């Protein structure tokens, strides 16, 4: 049931991705809470949707999200799932995504959407944990 929820939220969040990057928060949540194979597959799916919905260069979002997802899958077992570490790791994950997108395509995302995305990370993560696991914080 959680997997259907993830894909439904992907389609709901896609039109609002220009104002606040809810897809990055959803992908970050899936990588932290699901197994490796599903996380990588889901990051490929989100990258493909972003490439088709916001055409930059076909395959660029897929490449960036797969590399960052694989790195996060590798290091997720080494940090504690507390609110402060979740925020720090998300800021690093999101900043690297924005930096790589800017380096490879020259497309710069405004500062307001980046700020709103970082602010919304923790509340959206808590809501997703409540929806998927029936708890506010999963340790």
Structural domain for 34, as ranges: 2-133
Per-residue pLDDT of 107-127, as tens digits, reads 777 888 889 999 999 999 999
107 domain-assigned: yes
Per-residue pLDDT of 86-101, as tens digits, reads 899 999 999 999 999 8
64 domain-assigned: yes
Number of domains in the chain: 1
139 domain-assigned: no
138 domain-assigned: no
35 domain-assigned: yes
117 domain-assigned: yes
Entry pTM: 0.91
CA dihedral 40, 41, 42, 46 (to 10 degrees): 100
């Amino acid at each position: 049931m959680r997997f259907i929820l993830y894909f439904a939220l992907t389609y709901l969040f896609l039109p609002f991705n220009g104002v606040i990057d809810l897809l990055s928060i959803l992908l970050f949540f899936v990588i932290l809470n699901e197994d490796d194979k599903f996380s990588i597959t889901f990051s490929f799916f989100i990258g493909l949707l972003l490439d088709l919905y916001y055409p930059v260069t076909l395959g660029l979002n897929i490449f960036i999200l797969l590399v960052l997802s694989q790195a996060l899958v590798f290091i997720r077992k080494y940090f504690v799932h507390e609110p402060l570490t979740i925020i720090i790791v998300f800021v690093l994950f999101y900043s690297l995504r924005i930096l790589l997108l800017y380096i490879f395509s020259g497309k710069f995302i405004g500062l307001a959407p980046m700020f709103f995305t970082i602010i919304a990370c923790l509340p959206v993560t808590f809501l997703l944990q409540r929806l998927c696991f029936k708890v506010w914080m999963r340790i």
